[in-house]
Structure 1
Amino acid sequence: FRGYHGKAALFTHIFNVSLDPPCVLLMDTGAHTIQEITCSACSAYLGWKIVRAHEWAEKWKEGGCILELELV
């Protein structure tokens, strides 16, 4: 995976984070409804949660959290 700051990874369970309201993000793989993820202690941006993949082939990502490795 690629994030805004470089390499990123998909996680199914994360802790001590806050989620922003959902919004639609257009990616190379199609449109996704996401929620940005921030640290609950310092509010630093960490990545995003995929709430809904609009393309059928990308549905497997739904519910997953993309964390930017540079920021973790």
Structure 2
Amino acid sequence: MFECMITSFHCRHGKAYLFDKVVNTTFGQKEERMMTTGLHIAADIFCVLCGSLVGWKYETAQEKSQKYKEGKSVLERFKICGPDGSRYWAGHDIHSGGSDADDA
């Protein structure tokens, strides 16, 4: 479901991860969202296997300090699982310490 984990975030349900690229997913419609870190255009991310909402993709960010998120996807840790139902827990955070309480 994912490739190239960049940093750890915190979201409404706990830990989440920001990725350059995610696979085995589909995207919902882009919409304007006011998040803790400012106004963003974002789209929900759904698992192609089960259809569950697993996160969101940042399309654009209004705040200059948030531009690094553009084109990247956030997956909520507790929602990520394999096709057999096993959980994909990251063994370590590549860049720990980042956080985001975005409310998508």
Normalised by the length of structure 2, the TM-score is 0.66
Correspondence for 1:55: 63
Q: Rg bigger for which structure?
A: 2
- Mapped to 2, the partners of 1:67 and 1:43 lie a distance apart of 14
- Mapped to 1, the partners of 2:40 and 2:10 lie a distance apart of 15
Correspondence for 1:45: 53
Question: Does structure 2 conserve the Cα–Cα contact (< 8 Å) formed by 1:3 and 1:47?
Answer: no
Gaps of 5+ in 2: 1-8, 81-104
- Mapped to 2, the partners of 1:59 and 1:26 lie a distance apart of 15
Q: Say which of 23, 26, 33 aligns to 1:25.
A: 33
Q: Say which of 20, 23, 34 aligns to 1:12.
A: 20
- Mapped to 2, the partners of 1:25 and 1:5 lie a distance apart of 18
Aligned-partner residue type, residue 66 of structure 1: V
Structure 1 outlier segments of 4+, above 3 Å:
none
- Mapped to 1, the partners of 2:45 and 2:12 lie a distance apart of 13
- Mapped to 1, the partners of 2:23 and 2:45 lie a distance apart of 11
**Structure with greater proportional strand content:** 1
Percent identical pairs in the alignment equals 36
Normalised by the length of structure 1, the TM-score is 0.93
- Mapped to 2, the partners of 1:36 and 1:4 lie a distance apart of 14
What's the RMSD between the two structures over aligned residues? 0.9
SS in 2 for 1:12: strand
The aligned length equals 72
